Structure 1
């Protein structure tokens, strides 16, 4: 989260020709995730440019996993054998004005897709805080933005194209295969390689962003739902060190939400300049605030699309709890403030609407997420997470699939009522475990 963690996109990961594996000697080091806390377990990385090349790779290899933009903090996308990066599969395939959908290749980033849609007069319902993550990688881990009426990014999916273990292509759509689509969208990389995604779109819209400082935490007890419903997308930032929420970011849709901006918000004062979520840091890489209207894709993320995190020193964890338990869960975490503080950059609290996606943390549950951006102090964080998970246990938290957690796999599995059905679909698409890895073995199949 420090200023240096936001730099222009590096050119060091250019695609290799056709589908040849990455030459590790040419890169002088093993492939890492963007935060640098994880080194992938193989140097065999392929960069296909077409569905046919993906099919060839999948047929050729007994074990293989898919890489998106390497934004996960755990080994959900890791392989000891072979990796397919979809970064070269980043095109817009088609827009359907009648169906109000856009079909894209799975490797396209939201930061690439969003301006294109806006130019055509369209928009997505929401974006995550960082716009440079890929569409396929984001939906398969249930990545999200915020808003009590806004589902996560996966909730916009109306169709998928997947290359499954035998190399065949499966097409799923909301019209013809609604249950299989619900099973496959948040697929955790277990079903195959997502090569195309169809997303629901809507007419483009404008958003303004206002920030307030110093919200008394007691206000959450009595006004939580009003606070998080004050705009189209609302985020609360806290370091747990005082009796105040550090910052409240309110993103409002022009023409739908109220145009009136007050100097105070439940006791918080309106900011007088653009701010970073960590108030001491420069806001130059953050999206425009101070109520200045702008296109949806330039306001819904927290950070500008022209910048992306480097291999910066941080870790991330996130837990989803039911909306009705939000205040109690926040109060429980606040009691750990002294232990958390020395290792934390910032915590963000957001809301996400319920969905019907089988492996989504928001399945049948409107949720509040408590997100921790940690200093890259792995040992200390791994000692803290069991304490956090323990105090959240009464609220049956579900962790973000792409971030660091220590929850017992049997406990985790018990919180997904469709887990058994999901595993049956995995068996149908991947009967011999071609796409399985240690992460799936532990957290889905509960094997040590």
Structure 2
């Protein structure tokens, strides 16, 4: 096992981890012994959270020395993988073997366990978040015992989006399907009023659709359409999409940034593993020195929420690098922001001015509150447990589950105390 003193910051650089120790166990036995013999402990993934969700007053555990152990079961159409493996690594190996995941987040750099635990997602009207692919998970609990939970088990739906509160997720088994190809096209300058009047038509135009905007002006900056070539495809040579015109070169979501580190565009078909994410695995994703927030809103409130955001442009746009609008299908995972409802994600990539961003979050959340907005667990938000609990019908069931699996609170931290347990 490798131990080190913590000098780590998160990917964006806005948060420095306070834990005095980071451990890198090299085997399951080492992981079990570490968890059993340690006071406070948390798993640390790819550090792509923007708050203190992954921190602890004790030991941070990184699973990067565990074998990825990518094992495909073609009969059951599943793949089993170590929780610390990055999605880009998993996607490349699955494609090599002729298989696919149903979706990817915008970044392939994130760890499987971390993304699942926070219900991180891609886009697509019919696509659930990444956690919905979990068929089984393996959890190291407070005394070092390994617990396995499978889809259909009594507490499974509460354990998948677990926020790290239940134990260290060491392995996951995910649903897979035959590999497929994606053709990604970007359209620029969509008319906002046309988008609002025909929002369902916009988001259903491809397998995965993302809209990028700064919320100001009469047009949506970009629409990224990821179209499966084995499904109904966009018409070849489409010259207009809700008054938007095709990009003639690779685009980046952020204005003025080269599209060279983004996945292949211009309608060129290619593997799902190289198209479903926005950014290439081999490059630094997005801008790097940025902050992020996101709120998930029921689909029936989509247009009203979008109009509300446009009315907040004077406040939001000066702090914004870019905003993104995505769609996500409903699920039954207790703490998933899409529990029980199809939804849209309103994503904010902020300039790295945390005091200014933090100052406007209460206003932003108050304006979105009438729509039942649930914050993304891994990003910046203001609400505490008192505000969040009423948004989740199974919230009390989750806290009871955490009490049973971790009665001494070994996996709890300041983030969980503030946003879940209300301390």
TM-score, with structure 2 as normaliser:
0.98
Query: Which residue among 271, 287, 293 is the counterpart of 1:317?
Result: 293
Is this contact kept in 1: 2:80–2:174, CA < 8 A? yes
- Which residue in the other structure is 2:55 paired with? 78
Query: Which residue among 339, 343, 349 is the counterpart of 1:363?
Result: 339
- Which residue in the other structure is 1:286 paired with? 262
Is this contact kept in 2: 1:34–1:310, CA < 8 A? no
- Which residue in the other structure is 2:218 paired with? 243
Secondary structure of the 1:264 match is coil
Q: Considering only aligned residues, what root-mean-square deviation do their CA atoms show, in Å? A: 1.3
Alignment of structure 1 residues 162-311 onto 2, 5 Å: 162-175=139-152, 177=153, 179-261=154-236, 262-309=238-285
| Cα distance in 1 between the residues matched to 2:287 and 2:145 | 36
State the Cα distance separating 1:255 from its structure 2 match: 2.1
Summarize the Cα distance change of 1:243–1:229 in structure 2 as closer, same or farther, 3 Å threshold.
Answer: same
Alignment of structure 1 residues 34-433 onto 2, 5 Å: 34-175=11-152, 177=153, 179-261=154-236, 262-309=238-285, 312-433=288-409
Is this contact kept in 2: 1:144–1:152, CA < 8 A? yes
Is this contact kept in 1: 2:206–2:234, CA < 8 A? no
Is this contact kept in 1: 2:384–2:420, CA < 8 A? no
Is this contact kept in 1: 2:279–2:285, CA < 8 A? no
- In structure 1, the gaps of 5 or more residues are 1-17, 25-29
| Cα distance in 2 between the residues matched to 1:311 and 1:21 | 30
- Which residue in the other structure is 2:3 paired with? 21
Of residues 396-405 and 269-278 in structure 1, the stretch that sits farther from structure 2 once superposed is: 269-278
Is this contact kept in 2: 1:164–1:192, CA < 8 A? yes
| Cα distance in 2 between the residues matched to 1:373 and 1:328 | 21
Deviations for 1:145-200, whole angstroms, at most 9, x for unmatched residues? 0000000000000000000011100001115x1x3211100000000000000000
Is this contact kept in 2: 1:130–1:308, CA < 8 A? no
- In structure 2, the gaps of 5 or more residues are none
Q: How many residue pairs get matched? A: 422
Deviations for 1:367-388, whole angstroms, at most 9, x for unmatched residues? 1000000011011101111111
Secondary structure of the 2:300 match is helix
Deviations for 1:39-68, whole angstroms, at most 9, x for unmatched residues? 000230000122111110011111111111
| Cα distance in 1 between the residues matched to 2:4 and 2:286 | 20
| Cα distance in 2 between the residues matched to 1:121 and 1:364 | 32
Is this contact kept in 1: 2:42–2:54, CA < 8 A? yes
Is this contact kept in 2: 1:33–1:311, CA < 8 A? no
Secondary structure of the 1:308 match is coil
State the Cα distance separating 1:410 from its structure 2 match: 0.9
